[in-house]
Every structure is written in C-alpha cells, then in structure tokens.
Amino acid sequence: MSQTITEPDLQSVDSSAPHKLGSVFYASVTVCGLFVAWGVLFTENLNSVTTASLNWLTGSWGWAYLVITLAILVFLVFLAFSPYGNIRLGRDDDRPEFSNLSWFAMILSAVMGIGLVSYGVAEPISHFATPPHGLAEAGTPQAAVRAMQYSYFDWGLHAWAIFAVFGLAIAYSTHRKGRPTLVSQLFRPLIGDRVNGPIGKTIDVLAVFATLFGTTTSLGLGALQVNNGLATLFGIPVDNITQVLIIAAVTAIFTMSAVTGVSKGIKYLSQGSAIAAGALFVFMLVVGPTVFIANLYIESIGLWATDFFRMSLQGTAFGDLEWMQWWTYFMMAWWVSWGAFVGVFLARISKGRTIRGFIMGVLVVPTVVFFTWFTVFGGTAINVDMYHGGDIAAQTSNDINSAFFATLDHFPLASITSAVAIFLVIMFFVSGADANTYVLAMMTSGGSLAPRRTILILWGVLTGITAVVLMLAGGLNALQNTVIVTSAPFLVIIAGLAVSFWKELISDNSLERKTDA
C-alpha cells in the first residue's frame, strides 16, 4: 500500500497541550451535577424513574444489545480476514511499540480487574443454583455446564468485540488520520465537519456520561467486595457507612494518582496485583478439584461453541426479562459504558499494529483468560456445593458479593487468600478508576493528552460522589439499573462508529488504488 493518507483539510492538532474548556465540559459537568442533586434530594423518585426506564428499555429494546454486539463481532471477524487486515494503525512504516507479551499483559490489565473477583464465582454459582432460561435442573451436572456456558457468554467475545471496535476506530482515527482523541471525531466520515458542531458535542457528552456511570458501577462493586472481604477477615459490618468510607478513601487515592501521574508506587503495586492474581489462580488450581475443573472446562467450551448463535440472539419473547436485566443486559450495558475508556487505552498502546493483529489479540487472548479464571474459581465453588455439602450458592443468593470469599473459606490459608483478594480488588479498583478519570478529563478538554489538574480532580470527586449517591439510593440494584439506562444511547453511537469506520476504510482504500494507478 502507499503511504498513509491524510485529510487535506485536517490541521495538525497538538493534543499534548492543555485545551480551552468548551461546551462539552460545561454540559457534562452540569448533567452530572443535576443527576447527583436528583439522587440526593429525590432518592425515591430517582429509583422509580430508573426502574421504569429500565423495564421499558429492556422490554422494548433489549434485543438491540444482542443484535448490535453480534453484528460488531461478525464485522470484526470479517475485517480481520479481509485484505483490510493488513492496514497498519499508523503510518505504513510504523511498527508496534510493545512486544506481544507486554501488549497482551496491558490489554488484560485494562478490564480484568474488579469483575474477576466480583463475578468469578458469583455468576457461575448463581447460574448453577438457578439455571438460565430453565435449561437444566438446579444443582445437577447439566446445570454446572450451563452455568459456565452463560458465564462465558457474558464475559467473552461479545464484551471484547465492543472494546475492539472502539479501540480500532480510535487508533485508526488518531494514529493514521491524525485527529484528536475524541469519540465525535470517529464520525467525520459520516457527518463531515458537523463533528465540530452540536451533533459532535452531543456525541462527546454521551460518551462522558456513559463512561462516568461505567466507572461508578465499578466503584460500587469494588466497595461491596472490599466490605465483604473486611467482614470475613475482621468482622467489620457490611453496611452503607463502611461502603461510603471505602469509596471515599479509594476516590482520594485514584484522584491523587491521576493528578500526579503514574507514580512508581502505583506502578509497582499494579505489577504486584498482576503477580498476586496469578498466584491466587495457581493456588486454587492446585488445591482445588483440578481434574473436575479440566473436564468442566472442556465440556462447557463445547456447549458454548455449539450454542453460540442461539445464545447471542436469545431474548425475552417468552419471559426471563428479570433474569436478562440482572445478567446479560447488565453485562452488555457495562461493556458499552466502558467502551470509550478501554477504546482510548487500547488505541494508545496499539500504534503500529495491523488491523488483523489488533482484532485477533483483543478478541482471543482476553477471552481465553477470562474463561479459564471463571472455570477455576466458579468451577471450584460448584464442586464444593455438589460434592462436599457446601452452601456457597445459598450465601451468594443472600449476598452476591460474598461468593468469592465464601469459596476461599473452604480451602487452606483462607485468611491469607482473602487478604490477597481484597488487595486485588483495591488495586484493580484504583488503577481502573485512575485511568477512567484521566479519560473523562481528556474527553472534556478537547482531546488534550495533558488535561488540567483541576479538571482531573473535579472528575475524580464527581465520580466518587456519584458512586456514593447510587450506593445510598439502592446499592447494587441501583448501580445496575442506572448503567443499563445511561448506556442505551451510547449503544447507538457504537453501531454508528462501526459504520463510519467501515466507510472510511473503503474510501481510503479506493483513494490509495487511484494514487497507485
């Protein structure tokens, strides 16, 4: 291919310079402030409105989450094996900055965090006790396989397809076309210069809003996990006061980290958390039912692959709306809300890679890691309940955030492994929120890679306050309801950016052929 095509009317953007605050910043902060005030002053009204919106949205349009995410996944697979897969995310002579091993490690660190502890046991054991869509009898071997199958679905290819299409579009726009790192700029092929007008500003505000609530959901889940871990180790009560104090402490830490940059201490702790996660994984694989886990893994993978398209399009025509709201719709909405943050992160570490290499790396490696983690920890919990008289499912039903620690209690060194799990949650919690705060500040500063410290502090504080408001308004249920409702408009934006990206690829390829001729 010829040298990188640039747009003749696109001026060079110094994205490293502090950017003058504009309408996106003021609109985003105003909307966030109004939401917080709503939650504080009219808590019951907030709950009733979000619940009603949730029921209408998922009942009428829940299928859109299924159809759009599957379409994006199919599009990415097609792209990877097409001639477009050879295009580089950057100039044609650019090469990857990081080795494959380092790149994979950074991809996993972007998202694996809190979800591995929050749901690594909770989702499989919940499905084991209440099989999805009535596909098995509770507590049977068939229920165990179905439990893993649907856990794979919620945490596998569909989630990473959302992240991959976002990251791919941003990397192409930023590294190959030289545009600012803003979601609105991804729509230039569709709407032209209108990306700099009200339409583009609206897109950026929606991106900020979705990212904010994705972060607050993670903060809330992290606080619930840490509270349960501290209750297990030290008998600290599981209540709102403790959770608010945890959120406040972590908010202070990640805000300081975002303001000062990635200090050596945070860097070392992040590396330590990766080592701790690996050690905890190996420990459970060794002391747990290894043969059972291996057999369950193989059988569940087989059923997941066989039922892949059926699961991908299984909606609520015959009921199960509440189950879908609690699991599949919530998970997909969570992934959508994290799309902008993870997309920006993936774009920044992937300059010089080919489209094919990017897609295969982002889709395959994290999916395999998540499947393996869920099988080792979730499969172990299932084995304990099936064959050793455990009550992990019952404890999870009573409090879903107790699942991981309830499982560790059945094995040696429970106090140590529980402490490691709490450490993991806190570190994943801090690093993820730190990065999200930076992305929020960047998106509200015109795409500047060096947003002002005051803006970083403001978004850190607003993130923490919003998480506290939602926790006090209704705990996990309020977090889930809100992230589904607020992510819905952004789902349409993701579909649009995929179309825009495809249009630009075709246009650039056609122009290159004419230039070569």
> Could you report the per-residue pLDDT of 470-483, keeping only the tens digit for each?
888 877 677 778 88
Supply the pLDDT for residue 5: 36
* Average pLDDT across the chain, whole number: 86
Q: Is residue 154 part of a domain?
A: yes
Q: DSSP state, 90?
A: S
Q: Are 365 and 163 in contact (CB under 8 A)?
A: no
- pLDDT at 17 exceeding the cut of 60: no
Structural domain of 230 = 23-316+327-516
- 204 within some domain: yes
Whether the Cβ atoms of residue 225 and residue 114 lie closer than 8 Å to each other: yes
Look at residues 394, 399, 393 and name the one whose alpha carbon lies nearest to residue 475: 399
**CA dist 392 to 160, 203, 381, 486, Å?**
29, 44, 7, 33
Residue 2 lies in a domain: no
Mean pLDDT (whole number) for 444-452: 83
**pLDDT tens track for 290-305:** 999 999 999 999 999 9
What pLDDT was estimated at residue 268? 60
Question: Who contacts 111 (Cβ-Cβ below 8 Å, separation ≥6)?
Answer: 159, 163, 338, 342, 366, 432
Q: Tokens for 4?
A: 């990188």
Dihedrals φ, ψ of 343, to 5°?
-60, -45
CB 316 within 8 A of CB 59: yes
Q: CB-hemisphere CA count at 13 Å for 240?
A: 10
48 and 474 Cβ atoms separated by less than 8 Å? no
Mean pLDDT of 105-123: 78
- Compute CA distances 166 → 89, 104, 169, 342, 497, whole Å: 13, 17, 5, 8, 8
Q: Among 350, 315, 427, 384, which residue's Cα sits nearest to residue 70?
A: 315
Task: Give Dmax (Cα) for the chain.
Answer: 74
Whether 7 maps to a domain, the answer reads no
pLDDT band at 98 (very low <50, low <70, confident <90, very high): confident
Strand partners, 354: 88
- Least-confidence region, from 147-151, 254-258, 319-323, 349-353: 254-258
140 contacts 385 by C-beta, under 8 angstroms: no
* CB contact set of 44 (below 8 Å; sequence gap of 6+): none
Tokens of 468: 């506290």
Q: Give the model's pLDDT for residue 111.
A: 65
Q: Mean pLDDT, to the nearest integer, of 215-241?
A: 86
Q: Which two tokens stand for residue 9?
A: 């009317």
Structure tokens at 331: 């998970």
* Mean pLDDT, rounded, for 166-191: 91
The answer as to whether 1 is a domain residue is: no
Q: Between vectors from CA 399 to CA 129 and to CA 287, what angle results, nearest 5°?
A: 65
Q: What is the mean pLDDT of residues 80-98?
A: 90
Burial class (CB in 10 A: 0-12, 13-18, 19+), 505: middle
- Is residue 8, in this structure, part of any structural domain at all? no
437 or 257: which carries more pLDDT confidence? 437
CA 179 – CA 346 distance, rounded (Å): 16
pLDDT of 125 reads 97
> Does the global pTM surpass 0.85?
yes
User: Rounded to whole angstroms, how far apart are CA atoms 216 and 205?
Assistant: 17
Instruction: Considering only residues 353 and 259, tell me which one the structure prediction assigns the higher pLDDT.
Output: 353
Quote the CA–CA distance of 281 and 372 in Å, as a whole number. Answer: 9
Whole-angstrom distance, CA of residue 382 vs CA of residue 141: 9
Q: Looking at the predicted structure, is the pLDDT value of residue 374 above 80? A: yes
Q: Which tokens is 377 given?
A: 């920890």
What does each C-alpha distance from 257 to 263, 431, 450 come to in angstroms?
7, 9, 14
pLDDT at 31 over 80: yes
CA–CA separation, 283 and 441 (whole Å): 39
237-262: average pLDDT? 82
- Across 100-109, 155-164, 408-417, least confident range: 100-109
CATH at 70: 1.20.1740
With a cut of 70, say whether residue 171 has pLDDT above it.
yes
Q: Are 233 and 56 in contact (CB under 8 A)?
A: no
Please give the Cα distance from 377 to 287 (Å, whole number): 11
Confidence of residue 289 (pLDDT cuts 50, 70, 90): very high
Question: Has residue 433 got a pLDDT over 90?
Answer: no
- What does the pLDDT read at residue 10? 34
**Is the pLDDT reported for residue 4 higher than 60?**
no
Distance CA 191, CA 184 (A): 10
Nearest to residue 89, comparing CAs of 360, 359, 357, 354?
354
pLDDT > 90: what percent of the chain?
43
The verdict on residue 460 lying in a domain is: yes
pLDDT for the residue 391: 93
Structural domain contains residue 3? no
Asked whether residue 2 carries a pLDDT value surpassing 50, the answer given is no
| Block residue for tokens 């209704």 | 474
Residue 489, judged by CB atoms within 10 A of its CB (0-12, 13-18, 19+), counts as middle
CA–CA separation, 508 and 54 (whole Å): 41
How many structural domains is the chain composed of?
1
- Return the number of other C-beta atoms located less than 10 Å from residue 269's C-beta: 17
Both tokens of 302, joined, read 């087989």
At residue 506 the predicted structure's pLDDT band, cuts being 50, 70 and 90, is very high
Q: Please list, residue by residue across 246-263, b when 16 or more beta carbons sit within 10 angstroms of its beta carbon and e when fewer do.
A: bbeebbebbbbbbbeeee
Yes or no: say if 355 and 168 are a contact pair by the CB < 8 Å rule. Answer: yes
- Examine the pLDDT at 141 and tell me if it is beyond 50: yes
Total Cβ atoms within 10 A of residue 142: 14
